[in-house]
Amino acid sequence: MNKLVKLLLLLCITAAITSGCAVNRATAHIDPATNLSALKTLHVRKFADDNANTETLIADRLRAQGVKVTADPQTPPAGVDGVVTYVEKWMWDITMYMLELTVVIRDPQSDFPLATGNSYHTSLTRKSPKEMVDEVIGNIYKEQNK
C-alpha cells in the first residue's frame, strides 16, 4: 500500500511539473495587403486588466521601431494610421509571470486586424513582460520583411 501511495504521488508531481514546462509559441501574421512601414503613427489602447504597464512597454518598443506612438487616452487621436490592442494572460507558479501576450495592430476605422503577434511561454521558459513585448513586436516587423 505504501508503494502505491508513493507511486501515485510521484505521478502527481510528474504531471504537475511537466504540464507547465514545455509549451513555447511565438507567431506573427500580417494581412497580405498591409504595408507596416506605411503606418507612421500608432495609438496603443490600454488593456483593461493590464498588470505590468504593458501599454508603456509596447509604446516604447514601437517608438524604437521608428513609429510615432500615443498611448494614454482610450480614444485614439484623429488621424492615426493604426490602433494597437493587446491581451495579456498571467499565470502563477511560485511567482506570477506573463504566460501569453497577443498584440494586434488594427485599422482605426474598421477595427480590422492588420497584423497580429502572439507569444506563449510557460513557467520554465518564462520571459519578463519587456522580453515578451520585444519578442511579439519584433516578430510582427520581421514578418513584414519576409
Binding site for other proteins (CB under 8 A): 1-2, 4-5, 8-9, 11-12, 15-16, 18-19, 21-23, 25, 27, 29, 31-33, 87, 102, 104, 106-107, 110-113, 116
CB closer to other proteins out of 49 and 66:
49
C-alpha cell of residue 13: 508531481
Residue placing its CB nearer to other proteins in the complex, 113 or 138: 113
| Lookup: cell for 102 | 497577443
Q: Are 54 and 95 spatial neighbours (Cβ–Cβ below 8 Å)?
A: no
CA nearest to 82, candidates 70, 97, 95: 70
Tell me whether residue 32 or residue 66 sits nearer to other proteins (CB atom): 32
Start-to-end Cα distance in the chain: 60
Nearer to other proteins, 19 or 37 (CB): 19
Smallest gap from residue 30 Cβ to other proteins (A): 9
Give the C-alpha distances (Å, rounded to integers) separating 14 from 8, 9, 18, 63, 120.
Answer: 10, 9, 6, 44, 22
- Least distance in Å: CB of 119 to other proteins? 12
Shortest distance (Å) from residue 106 CB to other proteins: 8
